[in-house]
């Protein structure tokens, strides 16, 4: 890719500010864990795998701020900060998965010094990023087998390199298929209310030279009826044990439409997105975001003052609407109870 969503350099994390795209490609130097928590909350970095990586680097930033040689003090302070980072966004399980890995490092090696522990935590965070790149590559290869030369894919939200440490989940499949020489066309839903499809997905696909057409969310049914869509590919932020999948709000709409029009609906997500502690999607916590995202989109008022607003960031697609789930382990077809992490 021509850009990096997140990387570590000179004792700080560097992220691409996704709130500035597509008009400006700006990179931010994140100097402390508070800045990282704020960046996650404000969607400067977003996408389930990416915020997992960001959370891990947030732990490293916090560790560097703790000036003590007392290991007990160090662990107690860092444990509280990890909980702060965990509270930034509730739906994407990858954040908690990555923070749990950091907590495991912190809980082990009790005889280590804080300085040695800081290096061990950084190594683990870098491992999470490296593993995600390989995971994206494998998902891309598995998913590309579902696409034929000439296929047209409908996407919703952004599930590309901007959402991961690698080439992406759903978009990673498209990039891989294109690199295999397949001619793939994409229709990208704009994805209200923050327009991740319009701002981010089209930006990524155009940079990669993939044929992409932007549509409003409420046009998806019409383009399906015209026979222009061969399959739908989306990412996920949390997948329950039965295969129910939470993704950006509006994904459920698309899945219902795909079912009606007999179009395959694929979810592409790493096994770190599977939450086998939850039996169904009804147990997935759904993040509620600020009313201003709907009433004042990008700073401009578009609704009457004082109107009531319901603004969930995600919805849950029932497993019966999902044709297959693609992970780094392969392609899972229904029933999904055999998914293992």
The answer to whether 57 and 9 are in contact (CB under 8 A) is no
Report how far residue 59's alpha carbon sits from residue 65's, in angstroms, rounded to the nearest whole number: 10
Alpha helices in the chain (DSSP H): 33-41, 48-65, 71-86, 93-107, 114-144, 170-179, 196, 202-207, 220-225, 251-260, 292-295
- Is 237 considered catalytic here? yes
Q: CA nearest 81: which of 61, 98, 51?
A: 61
**In 96-123, which positions are buried (b, 16+ CB within 10 angstroms) versus exposed (e)?**
bbbbebbbebbeeeeebebeebbebbbe
Q: CA nearest 270: which of 48, 18, 6?
A: 48
Question: What residues contact 304, with CB distance under 8 A and at least 6 apart?
Answer: none
- Of the candidates 237, 244, 275, 315, the residue annotated as catalytic is 237
Report how far residue 169's alpha carbon sits from residue 160's, in angstroms, rounded to the nearest whole number: 6
DSSP letters spanning 184-196: -EEEEE--TTTTH
**Residue 326 dihedral angles phi and psi, to the nearest 5°:** -110, 125
**Residue 226 dihedral angles phi and psi, to the nearest 5°:** -75, -10
The answer to whether 224 and 182 are in contact (CB under 8 A) is no
Report how far residue 17's alpha carbon sits from residue 216's, in angstroms, rounded to the nearest whole number: 24
* DSSP single-letter state for residue 64: H
Cα 162 → chain centroid: 8
The catalytic site residues sit at 237
């Amino acid at each position: 890719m021509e850009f990096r969503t997140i990387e570590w350099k000179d004792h700080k994390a560097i992220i691409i500010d996704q709130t500035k795209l597509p008009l400006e490609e700006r990179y931010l130097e994140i100097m402390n864990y508070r800045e990282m928590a704020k960046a996650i909350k404000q969607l400067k970095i977003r996408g389930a795998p990416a915020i997992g990586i960001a959370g891990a680097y947030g732990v490293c930033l916090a560790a560097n701020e703790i000036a003590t040689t007392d290991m007990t003090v160090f662990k107690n302070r860092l444990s509280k900060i990890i909980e702060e980072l965990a509270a930034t966004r509730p739906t994407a399980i990858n954040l908690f998965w990555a923070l749990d890995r950091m907590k495991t490092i912190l809980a082990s090696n009790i005889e280590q010094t804080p300085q040695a522990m800081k290096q061990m935590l950084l190594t683990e965070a870098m491992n999470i990023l490296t593993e995600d790149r390989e995971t994206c590559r494998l998902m891309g290869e598995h998913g590309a087998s579902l696409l034929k030369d000439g296929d047209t894919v409908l996407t919703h939200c952004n599930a590309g390199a901007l959402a991961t440490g690698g080439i992406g989940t759903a978009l990673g499949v498209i990039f891989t298929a294109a690199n295999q020489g397949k001619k793939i066309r994409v229709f990208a839903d704009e994805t209200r209310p923050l327009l991740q499809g319009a701002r981010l997905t089209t930006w990524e696909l155009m940079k990669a030279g993939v044929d992409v057409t932007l549509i409003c969310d409420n046009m998806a049914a019409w383009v399906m009826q015209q026979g222009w869509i061969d399959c739908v590919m989306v990412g996920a932020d949390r997948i329950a044990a039965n295969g129910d999948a939470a993704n950006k709000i509006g994904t459920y709409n698309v899945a219902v439409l795909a079912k009606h029009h007999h179009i395959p609906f694929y979810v592409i997500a790493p096994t770190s997105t599977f939450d086998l502690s939850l039996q169904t999607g009804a147990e997935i916590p759904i993040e509620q975001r600020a009313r201003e995202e709907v009433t004042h989109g990008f700073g401009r008022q578009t609704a009457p003052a004082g109107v009531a607003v319901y603004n969930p960031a995600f919805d849950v697609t029932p497993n019966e609407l999902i044709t297959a789930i693609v992970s780094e382990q392969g392609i899972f077809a229904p029933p999904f109870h055999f998914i293992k992490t």
